Amino acid sequence: MQKQNDTLFYIIESGYFLGDGGVMFGPVPKKYWSAKYKVDEKNMCVMSLRCLFIVSGDRRILVDNGLGNKHTSKLKFFQPFNQKDIRDEIRKVGYAPEEVTDVILTHLHFDHCGGSTVYDEAKKAVPAYPNATYHLSLKQWQNYRNPSLFEQGSFYPENIEPVYDAGQLQFVLEDIRLGEHVKLELYDGHTPGQIVVLFETEEGNYAFPGDVVPTSLNLSLSWLSAYDNSVAVAMEEKKRFMDKAKAEKRTLIFYHDAYTTSAQL
């Protein structure tokens, strides 16, 4: 937790899953990445699902929301464990899910937005945060609605269609601010129109880059993921982000790094 006047943020560890190291670190040879990131005999690495809750002025902002619990049978390969209901985690820091004003979805891959909706008593998926505006880039929405063969398995309609149907989805067309201390910027490469969240505190400047820089190992420009939609674009966009992050002296909070929560550039 950090504080700047009326601005606080809380890191929420929503759970973990196992990802194949060869996929997570893509073009990087195993002899290099396995020396820096733990891997088991089946080539599986523990990956985190680290979310963010920001309280700034009259805004209560949730950034990404993990796997959720709607698709357990579909996710057996990833062996998710220690999964937490983010609504309970928000209650632990003194807020109710109904008080969340904004949900920022960096993108619509299932491991980042599964908790956007929950099943009601009739087993119908409904928004998990009934009073929140959900922010998603228009490019990502269009990409989800017309996915490539490469990416279509990463999207589950139950995670976002109920939000759209409820009129709670707001499209981000360009870089914007949410209040004085929070900014949303758009990046391509991993997937079109991914949102990176930037925010400022009294202790320093922070960034939540999502899958633009998923782990501390990916701070190196050439360390990319096989999940990246376009490797060449991903590298260029990561450089664009990193150059700005360095100039602004930002600390990065990593979504997928199970061992390193953040790193100061």
- Residue 35 burial by CB count (10 A; 0-12/13-18/19+): exposed, middle or buried? exposed
* Structural domains of the chain sorted by starting position, each given as residue range(s) with its CATH number in brackets: 2-264 (3.60.15.10)
Share the mean pLDDT of the chain. 96
pLDDT band at 201 (very low <50, low <70, confident <90, very high): confident
Give the pLDDT confidence of 210-264 residue by residue, as tens digits. Answer: 999 999 999 999 999 999 999 999 999 999 999 999 999 999 999 999 999 999 9
Cβ atoms 178, 169 nearer than 8 A: no
Give the pLDDT confidence of 102-131 residue by residue, as tens digits. Answer: 999 999 999 999 999 999 999 999 999 999
Give the pLDDT confidence of 11-47 residue by residue, as tens digits. Answer: 999 999 999 999 999 999 999 999 999 999 999 999 9
Cβ atoms 253, 54 nearer than 8 A: no
Helix H segments across the chain? 21-24, 30-33, 86-92, 110-113, 138-145, 161-165, 231-247
Distance CA 17, CA 15 (A): 7
Q: Tokens 């190992």 — which residue?
A: 217
Q: Write out the two tokens for 241.
A: 């982000």
What is the reported pTM?
Answer: 0.95
Task: Provide the pLDDT for residue 202.
Answer: 86
Is the model's pLDDT at 2 over the cut of 50? no
10 membership: H or E segment, kind and range? strand 7-20
